[in-house]
């Protein structure tokens, strides 16, 4: 207790013709168990009501509040000031379109992502309200859930060298999403169909293996494992296609 | 101004909204969902525990049926619910769980063989059957006779919402996120859509539709301390009230959860106490056994919340910069148990509090958790008072929860009601034509633009919206919390009436450009204070105790005079109190009022005589 914290925050409101991108400094006295959620709301309510940022669940569940915190992408609600130095620099996630200050448009980016990977179960089974469910091995259900835990926060994309160089790269989150359907027995897509989606430099072959994605993922998803699994699987499909020609 | 035309406009892209959208789109209608946040960040994603449906696959659910689920729900509601709706819900829930299964939810499944489980901190054995291998399994939840809660590990809401949003993407449902509805387009008889404000640019957009649905979730954020997401603020409930013709049902029925953490009010699961955790006071002494010698910490949610509040009032709370609280102690459960079965609690404590629950106490207090009240609809989900307006999910008072909802019943309600009401909208639109109400669209948009301009120019005053909001939240936290009295509620209502005056004189402190968060808050504050008044005034008038509504001065449940649902109207925009009307709690009784079997309480029966 008793620390005076200095927040250096990126400010820019693209809707205001007079606004220019800049860093602004705010000071706050630190309180017990303070998180960036508490700190930013206090700044907005006590010092500058126009400060834009995104929070929703404030419990590390919904993925809304990712930003770059002292150089590293992460969930702001999940970050305690006590783990940070006296001076805290906050900037919006790169790659995503800026809405204003610390707020970016992750919704549009992720919608495009799941349209690209067709993030749904592909099947021609018609639901029968009178039938009992198809059984599934609990271990498989748990495996699917492990990959389903992504909260679409965008940290992995913001930290990714390839994504920052080329904006058509799908990113670890998209590949992880596809992987979730690859292991789901309800999805009837074949390896060849999956290859259509990710078998290119935009997808699995664009990854440079820098590991930053897994490092920043707040859900600790096994992103590197997932990438190399898909790369091996897709490599086999690629070979098959070369020999077919 | 941009105008967008659709068959169906759904305000809200949580589970209830998207389930209804899937139904409409599946029938070939054009549907759009509006949402403040991307659909997948809606608060449904935060529900961890699970959803109730009487599938009876687990051995601990043997003998379960939709009848037993129905009975648990009615008892849970303290007979405040509409029994026809509760019946419809219990019967449909199993089908919806199986549908979700086909759509891709990775439900946990039955694993045959022996395993262990905990109850009251003790270990027991169970053996799952071979013939149920791989079917949807269930876990235990409070207030239920059987294990009935279907789940996906510790992320049920997340997984179900992601699946639902996948399904909507597949069906071509549009979701316009960062779009905040601020007013309904209506003429006192028919609803034609809504005016929304873009949270990207600040522009107003008119959404015109033949059917409009409110699926905006709960409004917990009118309280200061709530487990709800920051966007559960009741903005659209304010807009509904503003029509003057649509009532909100049972607004005084608010659920408080015993263990919200302090600060940040994040929920830690009931499992902590279920597994043997205890509550301690400022002297680090247990107290629940003094009040409830039998059940102690394991009494029902409303009962524990009641005694915790009482104990803090006696001066036994722990002071902190974030207000008083008590302690939850799970240290004695040991490291293995805490990082295993209670992993999620461990993570919340370490990441948000910097508290290690293996060695340290967890600061908790009763915290606003769920809104039983909401937009009053009939059992088809059609709102009272306006043709073409529907509602489902936590936003609605459909009303299967009455005065207390059971854990696991609300997430299940979202998909059950979303499906049913979505289907009713499809039926409603079959031969429904309405003219495009050009004049109403222009009038409503102009009125909203005027409000915005006045707030920016400071024409009505220069009250600071954040201060006004805090005054409202403090009034409710103080006067309309776990315990309620004539005196406290009267003071609360008077305070809120003064706050309402201030809410009508908001002036922005900043420029209001673009997606200004200050303007967003300012646009809904008057509606929020009106909701707060519906809660407090409804509670003041209801002179009995039922479910979560505890009147210290009227401790008995009074089935003679109060087996009713409150309907709160705001008939004239300049009124400073709602107009309350009442209707029967249920059109018919499948199960007559009786004893819940927990939470001892006096009951004044329907046939007892009036006291002189
Ligand atoms: C911490 C927590 C845990 C819970 N756990 C459980 C559980 O285990 N089991 C259970 O059964 N229940 C649980 N509940 C309750 C349950 O999660 C909710 O009741 C349910 O998810 C509500 O779903 P919904 O679709 O009605 O609304 P929500 O999921 O809240 O969605 C509301 C939607 O409306 C949108 N919206 C809001 N305002 C506007 C506006 N002005 N304009 C446009 N869009 C708007 C939002 O963006 C969002 O898309 C829990 C609740 C909490 C708070
Ligand atoms: S994979 Fe991890 S870092 Fe990437 S979006 Fe999902 S949760 Fe965020
Ligand atoms: S606000 Fe939901 S993850 Fe931070």
* pLDDT for residue B364: 96
Question: Does B556 have pLDDT greater than 50?
Answer: yes
Question: Does A84 have pLDDT greater than 70?
Answer: yes
Question: Does B180 have pLDDT greater than 90?
Answer: yes
Q: Which residues contact B427 (CB under 8 A, 6 or more apart)?
A: none
* pLDDT for residue A186: 97
Measured in residues, chain B has a length of 612
Tell me which chain B residues have a C-beta less than 8 angstroms from the C-beta of A52: 515-517
In degrees rounded to 5, what are phi and psi of residue B437?
A: -85, 70
Q: Is pLDDT larger for residue A179 or for residue B273?
A: A179
Active-site residue, selected from the candidate residues B69, B87, B197, B257: B257
Mean predicted lDDT score pLDDT of chain A: 92
* pLDDT for residue A1: 53
Residue B70 CA to residue B390 CA, distance in Å, equals: 24
* pLDDT for residue B311: 95
Q: Is pLDDT larger for residue B104 or for residue A238?
A: B104
Residue written as tokens 């086999």? A236
* pLDDT for residue B272: 80
Taking only the tens place, the pLDDT of each residue in A99-148 is 999 999 999 999 999 899 999 999 999 999 999 999 999 999 999 999 99
Tokens of A201: 């430099």
* pLDDT for residue A213: 92
* pLDDT for residue B397: 98
Taking only the tens place, the pLDDT of each residue in B384-410 is 999 999 999 999 999 999 999 988 899
Taking only the tens place, the pLDDT of each residue in A213-222 is 999 999 999 9
Tokens of B104: 């891709």
Is A57–B46 a contact, with Cβ atoms under 8 angstroms apart?
yes
B273 is an active site residue: yes
Residue written as tokens 């992460």? A74
Residue A159: DSSP 8-state: H
Confidence of residue B612 (pLDDT cuts 50, 70, 90): very low
CA nearest A171: which of A187, A186, A156, A188? A156
Q: DSSP strand E in A47-196: where?
A: 66-69, 72-75, 87-91, 97-100, 103-105
Residue B420: DSSP 8-state: H
Expressed in angstroms and rounded, the spacing between residue A56 Cα and the centre of ligand 3 is 6
DSSP B134-149: TSB--B--TT-SS--E
Taking only the tens place, the pLDDT of each residue in B245-279 is 999 999 999 999 999 999 889 998 877 877 778 99
Burial of A101 (0-12, 13-18, 19+ CB in 10 A): buried
Q: Which residues contact B253 (CB under 8 A, 6 or more apart)?
A: B80, B371, B372, B373, B401, B402, B403, B404, B547, B548, B549
Give the distance from residue B105's alpha carbon to the nearest chain A alpha carbon, in angstroms: 9
Residue B472 CA to residue B222 CA, distance in Å, equals: 7
Is A133–B135 a contact, with Cβ atoms under 8 angstroms apart?
yes
* pLDDT for residue B121: 59
Q: If you measure CA to CA, which chain B residue comes closest to A48?
A: B510
What is the value of ipTM here, to two decimals? 0.96
Residue B455 CA to residue B523 CA, distance in Å, equals: 9
* pLDDT for residue A233: 84
Tell me which chain B residues have a C-beta less than 8 angstroms from the C-beta of A107: 37-39, 175, 177-178
Q: If you measure CA to CA, which chain A residue comes closest to B466?
A: A45
Strand order in the sheet with B278-280: B254-261, B362-371, B326-329, B278-280
Coil, helix or strand for B184?
Answer: strand
C-alpha distances in Å from residue A171, one per residue of A231, B38, B165, B320, B525:
14, 19, 20, 44, 40
Residue B465 CA to residue B470 CA, distance in Å, equals: 9
CB B302 within 8 A of CB B403: no
Helices B486-503 & B517-541, crossing angle to 10 degrees? 150
Is the CB of B153 inside 8 Å of chain A's CB atoms?
yes
CB B139 within 8 A of CB B126: no
Is the CB of A15 inside 8 Å of chain B's CB atoms?
yes
> pTM of the predicted model, to two decimals?
0.95
CB B267 within 8 A of CB B257: yes
Residue B132: other Cβ atoms inside 10 A: 21
Q: Say yes or no: CB of residue A75 within 6 Å of ligand 3.
A: yes
Q: What residue's CA is closest to ligand 1, atom 27?
A: B217
* Arithmetic mean of pLDDT, B76-91: 97
Give the distance from residue B191's alpha carbon to the nearest chain A alpha carbon, in angstroms: 29
Is the CB of A59 inside 8 Å of chain B's CB atoms?
yes
B257 is an active site residue: yes
Pairing of strands B564-569, B248-249: antiparallel
* Arithmetic mean of pLDDT, B410-435: 95
C-alpha distances in Å from residue B312, one per residue of A174, B92, B151, B249, B387:
49, 42, 35, 31, 48
Question: Does B611 have pLDDT greater than 70?
Answer: no
Question: Does B435 have pLDDT greater than 90?
Answer: no
* Arithmetic mean of pLDDT, A31-52: 93
* Arithmetic mean of pLDDT, B545-563: 95
User: Is CATH 3.10.20.30 what the domain over A4-104 is classified as, yes or no?
Assistant: yes
**Least confident window among B150-154, B310-314, B326-330, B367-371:** B150-154
Domain boundaries, chain A: 4-104, 118-244
Tokens of A93: 């996630």
Taking only the tens place, the pLDDT of each residue in B476-498 is 999 999 999 999 999 999 999 99
Residue written as tokens 């099947």? A123
Is the CB of B231 inside 8 Å of chain A's CB atoms?
yes
Q: Select the residue from A28, A31, A39, A59 to test the B interface by mutation, using most B Cβ atoms within 10 A.
A: A59
Which CATH number, 1.10.1060.10, 1.10.3720.10, 3.40.50.2000, 3.40.1390.10, labels domain A118-244? 1.10.1060.10
Per residue in B373-412, is it b (16+ CB within 10 Å) or e — as a string? bbbbbebebbbbbbebbbbbbbbbbbbbbbbbbbbbbbbb
Pairing of strands B374-376, B248-249: antiparallel
Is the CB of B172 inside 8 Å of chain A's CB atoms?
no
């Amino acid at each position: 207790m008793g620390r005076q914290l200095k927040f250096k925050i990126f400010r820019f409101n693209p809707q205001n013709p007079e606004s220019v991108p800049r860093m602004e400094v705010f000071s706050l006295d630190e309180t017990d168990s303070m998180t960036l959620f508490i700190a930013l709301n206090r700044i907005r309510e006590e010092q500058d009501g126009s400060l834009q940022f995104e929070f929703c669940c404030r419990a590390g569940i919904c993925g809304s509040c990712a930003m770059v915190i002292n150089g590293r992408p992460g969930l702001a609600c999940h970050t305690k000031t006590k783990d940070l130095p006296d001076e805290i620099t906050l900037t919006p996630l790169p790659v995503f379109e800026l809405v204003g200050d610390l707020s970016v448009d992750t919704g549009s980016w992720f919608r495009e992502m799941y349209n690209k990977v067709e993030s749904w179960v592909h099947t021609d089974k018609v639901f029968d309200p009178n039938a009992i469910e198809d059984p599934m091995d609990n271990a498989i259900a748990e495996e699917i859930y492990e990959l389903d835990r992504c909260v679409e926060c965008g940290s992995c994309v913001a930290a990714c060298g390839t994504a920052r160089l080329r904006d058509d790269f799908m990113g670890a989150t998209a590949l992880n999403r596809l992987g979730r359907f690859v292991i789901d027995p309800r999805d009837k897509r074949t390896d060849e169909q999956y290859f259509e989606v990710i078998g290119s430099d935009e997808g699995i072959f664009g990854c440079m293996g820098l590991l930053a994605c897994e490092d920043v993922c707040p859900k600790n998803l096994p992103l590197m494992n997932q990438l190399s699994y898909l790369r091996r699987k897709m490599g086999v499909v690629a070979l098959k296609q070369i020999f077919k020609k | 101004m941009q105008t967008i035309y659709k068959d169906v406009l759904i305000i809200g892209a949580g589970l209830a909204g998207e389930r209804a959208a899937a139904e409409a789109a599946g029938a070939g209608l054009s549907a759009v969902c509006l949402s403040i946040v991307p659909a997948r960040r809606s608060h449904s994603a935060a529900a961890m525990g699970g959803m109730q449906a009487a599938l009876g696959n687990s051995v601990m659910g043997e003998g379960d049926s939709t009848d037993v689920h129905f009975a648990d729900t009615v008892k849970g509601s303290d007979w405040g619910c509409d029994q026809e709706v509760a019946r419809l819900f219990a019967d449909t829930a199993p089908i919806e769980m199986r549908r979700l299964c086909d759509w891709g939810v990775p439900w946990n499944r039955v694993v045959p063989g022996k395993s262990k489980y905990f109850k009251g901190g003790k270990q027991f054995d169970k053996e799952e059957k071979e013939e149920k291998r791989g079917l949807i399994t269930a876990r235990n939840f409070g207030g239920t006779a059987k294990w009935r809660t279907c789940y996906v590990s510790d992320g049920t809401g997340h997984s179900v919402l992601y699946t639902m949003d996948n399904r909507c993407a597949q069906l071509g449902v549009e979701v316009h996120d960062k779009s905040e509805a601020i007013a309904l387009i209506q003429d006192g008889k028919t609803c034609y859509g809504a005016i929304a404000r873009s949270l990207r640019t600040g522009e107003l957009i008119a959404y015109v539709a033949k059917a409009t649905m409110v699926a905006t979730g709960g409004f917990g954020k009118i309280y200061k301390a709530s487990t709800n997401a920051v966007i559960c603020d009741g903005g659209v409930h304010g807009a509904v009230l503003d029509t003057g013709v649509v009532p909100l049902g049972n607004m005084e029925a608010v659920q408080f959860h015993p263990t919200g953490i302090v600060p940040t009010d994040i929920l830690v699961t009931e499992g902590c106490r279920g597994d043997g955790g205890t509550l301690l006071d400022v002297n680090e002494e247990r107290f629940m056994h003094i009040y409830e010698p039998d059940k102690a910490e394991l009494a029902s949610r409303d009962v524990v919340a009641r005694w915790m509040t009482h104990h803090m009032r006696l001066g036994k709370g722990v002071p902190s910069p974030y207000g008083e609280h008590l302690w939850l102690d799970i240290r004695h459960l040991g490291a293995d148990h805490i990082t295993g079965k209670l992993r999620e609690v461990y993570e919340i404590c370490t990441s948000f509090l910097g508290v290690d629950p293996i060695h340290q106490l967890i600061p908790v207090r009763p915290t606003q958790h769920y809104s039983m009240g909401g937009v009053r609809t009939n059992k088809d989900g059609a709102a009272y008072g306006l043709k073409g307006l529907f509602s489902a999910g936590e936003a609605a008072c459909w009303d299967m929860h009455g005065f207390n909802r059971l854990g696991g019943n609300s997430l299940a309600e979202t998909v059950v009601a979303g499906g049913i009401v979505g289907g009713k909208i499809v039926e409603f639109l079959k031969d429904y034509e309405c003219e495009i109400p050009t004049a109403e669209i222009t009038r409503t948009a102009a009125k909203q633009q005027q409000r915005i301009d006045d707030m920016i120019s400071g024409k009505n005053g220069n009250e600071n919206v954040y201060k006004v909001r805090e005054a409202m939240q403090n009034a409710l936290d103080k006067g309309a919390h776990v315990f309620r009295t004539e005196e406290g509620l009267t003071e609360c209502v008077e305070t809120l009436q003064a706050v309402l005056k201030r809410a009508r004189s908001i002036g922005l402190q900043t420029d209001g450009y673009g997606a200004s968060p200050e303007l967003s808050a300012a646009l809904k504050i008057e509606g929020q204070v009106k909701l707060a008044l519906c809660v407090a005034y409804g509670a003041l008038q209801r002179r009995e105790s039922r479910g979560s509504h505890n009147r210290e001065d009227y401790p008995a449940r009074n089935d003679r005079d109060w087996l009713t649902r409150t309907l709160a109207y705001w008939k004239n925009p300049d009124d400073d109190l709602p107009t309350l009307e009442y209707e029967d709690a249920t059109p018919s009784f499948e199960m007559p009022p009786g004893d819940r079997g927990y939470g001892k309480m006096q009951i004044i029966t329907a046939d007892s005589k009036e006291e002189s």
